[in-house]
Structure 1
Amino acid sequence: MAVFALVGPLYRRVQRQIEQDAPPGLSVGVRAVLALLHEHGPMTVPHMGREQSISRQFVQRMVNDAATDGLVEAVPNPAHARSSLIRLTGAGHTTIEGVLAREHALLREAADDLTVADVDACVRVLSRMLTLFEDSDGPA
């Protein structure tokens, strides 16, 4: 329970920090879409929703916002004619790489006295907790 008590406030504080440090108009939701595409390459909206355990409708709104700003674009999906792939544009790559660089610099400062073993243990615990609640995720 102590981990749950920390994860919620940590998540909200990180969200606020991301929004404060992000380029004007870049929401946490759009940032999440850009980061997902940066890490995995082109994806469909439903796939992004499943990856993030959030609704397809929310992801679609974030994709629409990102597309309006020229950060992503829809391209044909050879595997599924009705579900386009969403990919980063050049501006999207530039934007998310800048955001990630700022975030990594901040995290390096915060992790000053943490060891690799500390981080590995944290990731192991949080991954296990996520797995425990995987089945309770509603439809994405």
Structure 2
Amino acid sequence: MNVTDSPLPPDALARRLTEVYDLVGPVYRRAQRLVEQGLAPDGLSVGVRAVLALLHRNGPMTVPQMGRAQAISRQFVQRMVNDAAARGLVESVPNPAHRRSSLIRLTDAGRTAVTAVLDREHLLLREVGGALTDADVTTCLRVLGAMLTALDGVDVD
């Protein structure tokens, strides 16, 4: 395959981005299985893990903010937050910016749980190999970010 640094025409770009989609799905599903099969302590679901990681990275957030950040429904996020709260991993606190939409934050137990998950993931990801460079990862993030942005504007009815 001839790889260039020139922008691709729309049809060629679409074909190449299809290759990305074809890999993103299996990567996500394999990671999901690892989490469900014990990467996460105490049988945390992928959804709860995602909520904990988001709060770990960003600090307290509202359920709608988490839904937008993860491009998933507020209702699904609420179920994951409820599950995490039942396990004592998150708590609801008043939101000074909005009375009716509480902030969700990690508890000490939640911080411990998500740190353990992220540490285990880090150990696995250290084994990726492939002589990947920082430029490779930066390009990957740029491509996936552009794809996500393009999909944000798509209205499916």
Q: Which has the higher contact order (CA 8 A, sep 6+)?
A: 1
1:59 is matched with which residue? 77
1:51-106 deviation per Cα after TM superposition (whole angstroms, max 9, x unaligned): 10100000000000000000000001111111110000000000001100110111
Q: Percentage identity across aligned positions?
A: 69
2:11 is matched with which residue? none
Q: Is the contact made by 1:77 and 1:84 (CA closer than 8 Å) also made in structure 2? A: yes
Matching residue within 109, 124, 127 for 1:106: 124
Separation in structure 2 between the aligned mates of residue 61 and residue 78 of structure 1, nearest angstrom: 23
Q: 1:37 to 1:137 in 2, by over 3 A?
A: farther
Matching residue within 137, 149, 155 for 1:131: 149
1:3 is matched with which residue? 20
2:47 is matched with which residue? 29
Q: Is the contact made by 2:41 and 2:116 (CA closer than 8 Å) also made in structure 1? A: no
Separation in structure 2 between the aligned mates of residue 90 and residue 137 of structure 1, nearest angstrom: 40
1:88 is matched with which residue? 106
CA-based RMSD of the aligned residues comes to 1.3
Query: Alignment partner of 1:42: what SS?
Result: coil
Q: 1:137 to 1:106 in 2, by over 3 A?
A: farther
Tell me the matched-pair count: 138
Taking structure 1 as the reference length, the TM-score comes to 0.94
1:13 aligns with 2:30: yes
Deviation at 1:113, TM superposition (A): 2.1
Separation in structure 2 between the aligned mates of residue 102 and residue 26 of structure 1, nearest angstrom: 14
Q: Is the contact made by 1:53 and 1:137 (CA closer than 8 Å) also made in structure 2? A: no
- Tell me which stretches of 4 or more aligned residues in structure 1 moved more than 3 Å: none
Separation in structure 1 between the aligned mates of residue 92 and residue 155 of structure 2, nearest angstrom: 27
Q: 1:75 to 1:14 in 2, by over 3 A?
A: same
